[in-house]
Structure 1
Amino acid sequence: MRSFHPAPRAAAGISYCSFGELLQGVLLEDESDFLVTLPIRKYSVSTFVPDHGSSEIVTQPSGKTKAAALARVILARHGRTVGGTFHIDCDIPVGKGLSSSSADLLATARAIEVYLGRELPLEQLCRDMSGIEPTDGVMFAESVVYLQRKGMLRARLGRLPNLQIVSLDEGGTLDTLEYHRGGEANRHNREHRAEFNELLERIVAAFAARDLAEIGRVSTRSAQINQKVNPKRHLVAVQDVSAATGGLGLVTAHSGTCIGILYEAGRADHAANLARAVDALSAHGSVRVYDTIC
């Protein structure tokens, strides 16, 4: 367990984000929702400025209500009635499906760890975060299979060799809670649970073998299945660009607005392929390039 000294003043925490999910579905044995994360080098930083003359927890920006709710839960469990402000700065805008909300939650929890001078038990933290909303497994510094509603780790998969993602944002925003509240995604995923479990077995084996092409195939299929509940208007166009530029396959934000192409950054022709993909996708919306954590 890590050793801490209590922070007398401001305390800061950080979390990375995840580019959508390589795979998202339900388990065959008990119909638990699961996802496979893809950590990227984009971050949320939360800085806690305590106010010992108040018990009110607020955030800046003020709309980060989920982070404030988590802070209240954790501080109350540790018998702290202190108030204060969490200043949250995230590289990723909300509603895009790139784990900005999950990263805000984890960064806030990490700031509280520094303030308290102690490490929070990981299993309890996972449950607390999922009690606020279905949460991506951003607390693990590698790709994992994570049960986002239960707040449970199913399997660690490890880090991939250096990959880059060319992302197309189709615009707008999507609220994760609203996405799940309607039940359509839940029903649709259960119809495909046998295929999801086959895909899960394939991607676990692909990580073990470092088979990037197979990971790309699984991720592409997950994006295709998701079209019924959160269709990406340009999925076919993005897939065509991937095929024409040496992409490994697609990766989508299942409950967001972004869809991307996976590229192996070590290829000799990578820079040229990346430039061609950015140029081709720019006709359809906002394009960004993200680096994975390797």
Structure 2
Amino acid sequence: MIRAVCPASCGELIQGYIFGGEKLISYAVDMYSTVSLYEGKRPDDMPIDMEKAYRAVDETFRLCGYSSEESKDIAIDIDSQISAGKGMASSTADICAAIACASEYIGRKLSKEEVAGICTGIEPTDSTIFNTLTLFDHVGGDICRDYGKNIESGVILIEGREIIDTVSFHKKGLHGLIRSGERQMKRALELFEEGLCEQDMGKIGQAAIISGLERQNVLPKRGLEALIEKSMELGAYGVNVAHSGSTVGVLYPQDKVDMGKLIYEIGKLEIVKAAKSVESCTIVQGGAKLQYM
């Protein structure tokens, strides 16, 4: 048996119309999908998340020069901590971990470009498939900028109740609305890159706020503005959103802000009261990792 894990995202730091099309920068948190691969019979009926993961296995075999006939006796199990349909990259994690298992079984290490190609061939994909922060064309699969580092911040993950199908969302004909935010997204990207270069989380938090507020025109989150205002009053770096989901993240300095007080105070707000859950998360490295048993 081969086993691999891939982390969730807490939405995106920025997402919008950048460099002629929609791009995103996700960040990974410590919730995981675990995929186990073994030789065995595939189930006749399976849920959509399992179908996507099996497709990832088949596409990995095909990319490595094997036929679908040669992958039909490969089975997988998925054990995920990640809520689906909330903008937390649940399917991305399943697919990426399945690719890691299949490539290990075959004995070939795939490049990040190859992994991105398989993932986006199945569905729009978060950049949590990469080890470090990446500006990514989540539909076309192009790696626009690999920043080579991750951010350090505390995160309060607010999981909304609304479930949104990512594939259906991206078919809604929202291109015009998204494109109208190009100027704002240019500013958000500039702030993000300045903040990353200068190790200034305040600028990164501001970039996330600009992107999140711009997305209110496309997928509004009731009470987001009040959450941003209260979080900033309490010393947070900023607030980011899942741009095609209902999850929201509050980024804060762990050495300066009391997490318990932050959760208590924002817990009085409408957007948090209506949430399914509120919890503290740790930012981790993205990408799938093999687990050796």
Whether TM-score is above 0.5 comes out as yes
Counterparts of 1:58 and 1:241, CA distance in 2: 50
Matched, 1:211 2:197: no
Aligned to 2:11: 20
Q: Which ranges of structure 1 fall in alignment gaps of 5 or more residues?
A: 1-9
Displacement of 1:293: 1.9
For 1:205 and 1:176, locate their aligned partners in 2 and report how far apart those are by CA, in whole Å: 30
Q: Which residue is equivalent to 1:76? A: 62
Distance in 1, Cα, partners of 2:108 & 2:213: 43
Contact map agreement 1:234 1:284 (CA 8 A) in 2: no
Q: Name which of 51, 73, 91 aligns with 1:101.
A: 91
Please give the alpha-carbon distance, in whole angstroms, between the structure 2 residues aligned to 1:156 and 1:270: 32
Count of residue pairs brought into register by the alignment: 277
Partner letter of residue 187 of structure 1? G
TM-score normalised to the size of structure 2? 0.87
Greater RCO structure (CA 8 Å; 6+ sep):
2
Correspondence 1:135-214 to 2 at 5 A:
135-157=125-147, 158-161=149-152, 163-184=153-174, 186-214=175-203
Please report the TM-score for the alignment, with normalisation by the length of structure 1: 0.87
Shift of 1:205: 1.5
The answer to whether the Cα contact below 8 Å between 1:59 and 1:68 also exists between their aligned partners in 2 is: no
Distance in 1, Cα, partners of 2:108 & 2:218: 42
Alignment RMSD, CA only?
2.1
Partner SS, residue 280 of structure 1: coil
Distance 1:62 1:139, change over 3 A: closer
CA separation of 1:266 and 1:58: change in aligned 2, threshold 3 A: farther
- Shift in CA distance, 244/108, structure 1 to aligned 2, threshold 3 Å: same
The answer to whether the 8 A contact 2:156-2:263 is kept is no
Match of 1:6 in 2: none
> Which structure 2 segments of 5+ residues have no match?
286-293
| 2:284 matched residue in structure 1 | 293
Q: Report if aligned partners of 1:44, 1:103 keep a CA contact under 8 Å in 2.
A: yes
| 1:1-294 → structure 2 map (5 Å cutoff) | 10-28=1-19, 31-51=20-40, 63-78=49-64, 79=66, 81-82=70-71, 83-157=73-147, 158-161=149-152, 163-184=153-174, 186-267=175-256, 269-277=257-265, 279-281=267-269, 282-286=272-276, 287-293=278-284
What is the percentage of aligned positions where both structures have the same residue? 24
Compare 173-182 and 239-248 and name the one that shifted more: 239-248
